Chains A and B, each alone.
Chain A
Amino acid sequence: MRFQDAAQDARAITYAAIQAEPVVARAAGLLADATPAQRVLARAVMNGETLDPEGWRTIFPTLFGPNVAPSARERSEAILAVSLAIADRGDQTRNQLRGALVEALTVELLGRRVGPAAVHRERRILFDGVPAEIHPYDVTVERSGAAEAYDCKWGARGIDADVLNQLDDARANAETEEEPLRVALVVFDAELSCRVRLERQTAVHDRTGLVTLESLGSLSS
Chain B
Amino acid sequence: MTTLAGQARDALAAYEALASLAEAIEDEWTYVTDLYATWRERIEELIDERGSEPVTTLEEAAIRRAVDEIGRISDPHRAIDWLSTFPQIVLVTLGERS
Interface residues in chain A, defined as those with a beta carbon under 8 Å from any beta carbon in chain B: 37, 40, 43-44, 47-50, 55, 58-62, 65, 67, 155-157, 189-190, 192-193, 196-197, 199-200, 213
Task: Check: B30 CB closer than 8 A to any chain A CB.
Answer: yes
Question: Which chain B residues border A47 with CB–CB below 8 Å?
Answer: 78, 81-82, 85
B89 CB, nearest partner CB in chain A, Å: 6
Inter-subunit contact B34/A192 (CB<8 Å) = no
Q: How large is the interface on B (under 10, 10 to 19, 20 to 34, 35 or more residues)?
A: 20 to 34
Query: Which chain A positions have C-beta within 8 A of B65?
Result: 55, 58-59
Chain A residues with CB under 8 Å of B70's CB are: 49
Interface 9-mer from B1-9, B35-43, B46-54: B35-43
Assembled-state Cα–Cα distance A83/B97 (Å): 23
Contact status A197-B31, CB under 8 Å: yes
The docked-state distance in angstroms from the alpha carbon of A199 to that of B34 is: 10
21 A-B pairs in the complex with CB atoms less than 8 angstroms apart = A37-B96, A40-B85, A44-B88, A47-B78, A47-B82, A49-B72, A49-B78, A55-B69, A61-B61, A62-B93, A155-B81, A155-B84, A156-B84, A157-B31, A157-B80, A157-B81, A192-B42, A196-B34, A200-B31, A200-B34, A213-B88
